[in-house]
Amino acid sequence: MTPAELNEKFSVGKALRFETAPGGLTRAVISTPLAEAQIYPHGAHIAHWAPRGHRPMLFMSSRSVFEPGKAIRGGVPIVFPWFGPRSDGKPGPAHGYARTSLWEVESAADLGDEGFRIALLLPSDDVRFTATFGTKLEMSLEVPNHSDLPLHFEEALHSYFSVSDIRDIAVQGLEGTTYIDQPDGFSRKVQPDEPIRFAKETDQVHLNTTSNCTIADPGWNRSIVIRKTGSQTTVVWNPWVAKTATLNDMAPDEWQRMVCVETANARDNAITLLPGESHRLTTAIFVE
């Protein structure tokens, strides 16, 4: 649907409008007394969320590409139905096709003090993504299995957070967990009983953890809390200097201002749904 058609069907006063963004993609712009936000039907991709009175919570690359068929760098990409490279011998883009597919806007509603909610559907899989923007950002990814066979998949809400300086922050909540250290040959390690701090490329898949996480950012005097349900995996990522240099859609110094803390089910924690079953992954993000 065109922005005009979407506005005719879904616009809610001054709270929601659809427009053509630079690059030609359609985006929804949300503005309420509680928050400002932007979400693209391309990938059901949240590109901006800022509660009133706060700086933006999400990092967006200044070089991100906003084109059909291209993944957006930053915000909250949706990873589905596989995490990382496809592993079944068939061709497919890294992190699955959901983040480069066109989702359909299904509903939109101003919930007042509870925020503004928008739901999008990935028609090929009947996967539904719902986001509620307010003083919290609440997201859910619902995956059904309507087939006659088991459905095996991985998933993640690949959230990029904006930070003052990656070298000064800490990620709390994963102490004592086993993780896959992807830059170090996918070796398995145990996180010491201390927060994660950053001094090099970090790409850790923490397994069998349902714990909430906190990004402590003393430079901006804030803590970002990430609560989750339906998730057994948390991924922590920062590309550092050398990896960033290989990313055409990220400026050379932007690794300093971001960290990914991803609510996921990946690797050992991949999901298998029997026919007729469904799975719901949720996360709620807020500032303290």
pLDDT digits (tens, 9 = 90+) for 239-268: 999 999 999 999 999 999 999 999 999 999
Residue 91's pLDDT band, with cuts at 50, 70 and 90, is confident
Instruction: Provide the domain limits for residue 53.
Output: 3-287
Mean pLDDT of 127-145: 98
pLDDT digits (tens, 9 = 90+) for 151-173: 999 999 999 999 999 999 999 99
Does residue 108 have a pLDDT over 90?
A: yes
The model carries a pTM of: 0.96
- The alpha carbon of 198 is separated from its chain's Cα centroid by a whole number of angstroms, namely 20
Q: Domain with 161 in it: what CATH number?
A: 2.70.98.10
What integer pLDDT is reported at residue 85 of this predicted model?
A: 86
Residue 67's pLDDT band, with cuts at 50, 70 and 90, is very high
Which of 81-90, 134-143, 279-288 is the least confident region? 81-90
Q: For the chain, what is the domain count?
A: 1
* DSSP per-residue letters across the chain: --HHHHHHHH-BTTTEEEEEPTTS-EEEEEE-SSEEEEEETBTTEEEEEEETTS--SB-B-TT---STTS---BSBPEE-S-SSS--SSS---TT-SGGGSBPEEEEEEE-GGG-EEEEEEETTTTEEEEEEESSSEEEEEEEE--SSS-EEE-EEE--EEE-S-TTT-EEES-TT-EEEEGGGTTEEEE--SS-B--SS-EEEEE-S----EEEEEGGGTEEEEEEEES--EEEEEE-HHHHHHT-TTS-TTGGGGEEEEEEEE-GGG-EEE-TT-EEEEEEEEEE-
Summary mean pLDDT of the chain: 97
pLDDT digits (tens, 9 = 90+) for 34-64: 999 999 999 999 999 999 999 999 999 999 9
Does residue 87 have a pLDDT over 90?
A: no
Number of other CB atoms surrounding residue 242 within 10 Å: 11
Does residue 119 have a pLDDT over 90?
A: yes
Number of other CB atoms surrounding residue 93 within 10 Å: 15
Cα–Cα nearest to 214, from 269, 163, 265: 163
What percentage of the chain exceeds 70 in pLDDT? 100
Does residue 89 have a pLDDT over 80?
A: no
What integer pLDDT is reported at residue 185 of this predicted model?
A: 97
Mean pLDDT of 189-197: 98
